[in-house]
A and B are shown apart, each in its own frame.
Chain A
């Protein structure tokens, strides 16, 4: 199966159709995605600032990492899941979006950065666990991490400005209120206006 067919198939799956057809599934997925990524970057920054010797310097690194990184992974799971669900609603467009591709590259760099840490500074952690900052390589890795994750945020935000949502649902009828939206919105016989560009 070539990539075009794979993307087409993704877009036609049940979850993709259901999210596209819902008025508020995509916005709520975005909300959950931002909660997840805020917790990912917020917790990673705590570890990186500790490596750099800029915060929590009195606390042993391993203890801080143990307290922090499990929440990073939990939040990353939420962010990845919501990201995948948003991707499948319009897979072809996102796949060809330059910012989406840049973001994926940055995520790979972030993963490799963690791998390099584990293979280098992470191996000698017992020697600098109590020190106020990590050795030079650890500090370089922490800086790369902070820069790359900010890059992930920027490219992620740019996707919203450059990729349009597929098959935008019709706007809610004028007399709809939030209670109605908690159930399935009735098909609008009203003006089928396209929604404003999401961003």
Chain B
């Protein structure tokens, strides 16, 4: 991985980002944060609908129909800007414990988002409406929200990977 990161840092796109790092890095990170905001807003609203705390005049399907595409679209934006960040600063990102744990949780969160939307589309209207009454789906909603919140914390911890002590592969400076 270290060698891959070092190789990546010599590629043309990486060199471009590094040479213009004064604006490229903050710009990419800012777009990334805007994407995070759309994900969190969308996940919050879908989860609040499941919990029955908001959007109760709309069915679960209508609520997911409103926010699902924003959630999915924002996840693609996050993937794109995330890849740009890895290209721009390969060793800072890849040689950390925080990054890889974050990737595992992102995979979990994205899989849940895709499967949940697909399940809602495939089943009939009644299934979607009776679903919100089940305690298990309410717990599931809370867990999903916490997964994304933890993803945010891990994203920030990439800059502070030393907090993991000996678990961190980041070289001590």
Interface residues of A (CB under 8 A from B): 23-24, 26-28, 30-32, 34-35, 37-43, 45-46, 55-56, 59, 63, 67-68, 71, 150, 153-154, 157-158, 161, 171-178, 180-181, 191, 193-196, 198-199
Among all A-B residue pairs, the 6 with the closest Cβ atoms: A42-B41, A176-B165, A31-B153, A41-B37, A27-B160, A38-B40
* Contact flag A35-B157 (CB < 8 Å), given A23-B162, A42-B44, A68-B54: no
B30 and A157: CB pair below 8 A? yes
A175 to B166, CA, bound (A): 5
Check if B124 is an interface residue, CB within 8 A of chain A: no
A178 and B156: CB pair below 8 A? no
In residues 67-126 of chain B, which contact A (Cβ within 8 Å)?
Answer: 70
A154 to B165, CA, bound (A): 31
Could you say which of A46, A55, A191, A198 has the most chain B C-beta atoms within 10 Å of its C-beta?
Answer: A46
For B6, the chain A residues whose CB sits under 8 A away are none
A199 to B25, CA, bound (A): 10
Specify which of A42, A172, A194, A198 is in contact with B38 (CB 8 Å cutoff). A42
B157 and A176: CB pair below 8 A? no
A83 → chain B, closest Cβ, in Å? Answer: 14
For A37, the chain B residues whose CB sits under 8 A away are 33, 37
* Contact flag A63-B57 (CB < 8 Å), given A177-B167, A181-B165: yes
A158 to B34, CA, bound (A): 14
Specify which of A34, A42, A67 is in contact with B54 (CB 8 Å cutoff). A67
B30 and A178: CB pair below 8 A? no
A66 to B25, CA, bound (A): 37
Check if B42 is an interface residue, CB within 8 A of chain A: yes
* Contact flag A181-B42 (CB < 8 Å), given A31-B153, A42-B37: no
A150 and B30: CB pair below 8 A? yes
Interface residues on B, range: 35 or more
Check if B17 is an interface residue, CB within 8 A of chain A: no
A39 to B33, CA, bound (A): 11
* Contact flag A157-B26 (CB < 8 Å), given A46-B45, A67-B54, A181-B165: yes
For B38, the chain A residues whose CB sits under 8 A away are 42, 45
B166 and A176: CB pair below 8 A? yes
For B152, the chain A residues whose CB sits under 8 A away are 31, 34-35, 38
Extra 13 A-B pairs, beta carbons < 8 Å, given A158-B26, A174-B165, A194-B173: A27-B163, A31-B152, A34-B156, A35-B152, A38-B36, A38-B152, A55-B70, A67-B48, A71-B54, A175-B166, A181-B163, A193-B172, A195-B173
Check if B66 is an interface residue, CB within 8 A of chain A: yes
* Contact flag A41-B34 (CB < 8 Å), given A31-B157, A34-B156: yes
A34 to B33, CA, bound (A): 8
Check if B133 is an interface residue, CB within 8 A of chain A: no
B135 → chain A, closest Cβ, in Å? Answer: 22
B66 and A55: CB pair below 8 A? yes
Select from chain A the residue with minimum beta-carbon distance to B149: A35
A28 to B98, CA, bound (A): 13
For B42, the chain A residues whose CB sits under 8 A away are 42
A196 to B163, CA, bound (A): 12
A42 → chain B, closest Cβ, in Å? Answer: 2
